[in-house]
Amino acid sequence: MSTIYYTATTLDGFLADPDDSLDWLFRQNQEDGGPFGYEAFIANVGAIAMGATTYEWVRSHLAASGEPWPYKQPTWVFTHRDLPLIDGADVRLTNGAVDRVHADLTRAADGTDVWIVGGGALAADFARAGLLDEIVVSIAPVTLGAGRPLLSGRFDLQLLDTGRNVDFVCARYRVVGMLTEDLPDGE
């Protein structure tokens, strides 16, 4: 069992543009059965954590498309607001600390992986608590110049694997820990 931040980013390190749009992502090509594909990943996920902004984006896009909630796994949404729930979805709103909620996620996952969907601030909270094992990121051939960062914070990572999935360069990293030494100015 691992806690994994599985996501996609632009080449310049943004998950979404300044308006929280993911339009850039849906213009890219990727094969579900290809390296680092979603179907193989989600098959071993037993519980999900996501931030409020991610949840609201998913909820609004499902409402617009008429599609059902895409996850069978229980999902904890980290928020300080009272958000509307989605009929038929196992969504649990929480404002708890990541270490306490991680214990609930792990129990629900029952030996399978925990997926940190996003965003980057939530994934960083898990990493700072020493609870994020891996980052699996698909890097798209597009830049935004500004937006929601891939990961909020400074962390040491170890590259474990790489691949290409159509338009994406994909990489899997082990989270080593917090970056402790100062970087030179400008880096």
What are the helix (H) ranges across the chain? 38-42, 52-65, 98-109, 120-128
Domain 3-143 class, CATH top level: alpha beta
Four-point Cα dihedral 98, 127, 38, 85, nearest 10: 20
Supply the pLDDT for residue 172. Answer: 97
Q: What is the torsional sign of CA 93, 116, 27, 155? A: positive
Supply the pLDDT for residue 178. Answer: 85
Each residue's pLDDT tens digit, 113-138: 999 998 999 999 999 999 999 999 99
Task: Delimit the domains of the chain by residue range.
Answer: 3-143
Each residue's pLDDT tens digit, 45-78: 999 999 999 999 999 989 899 999 999 999 999 9
Supply the pLDDT for residue 70. Answer: 93
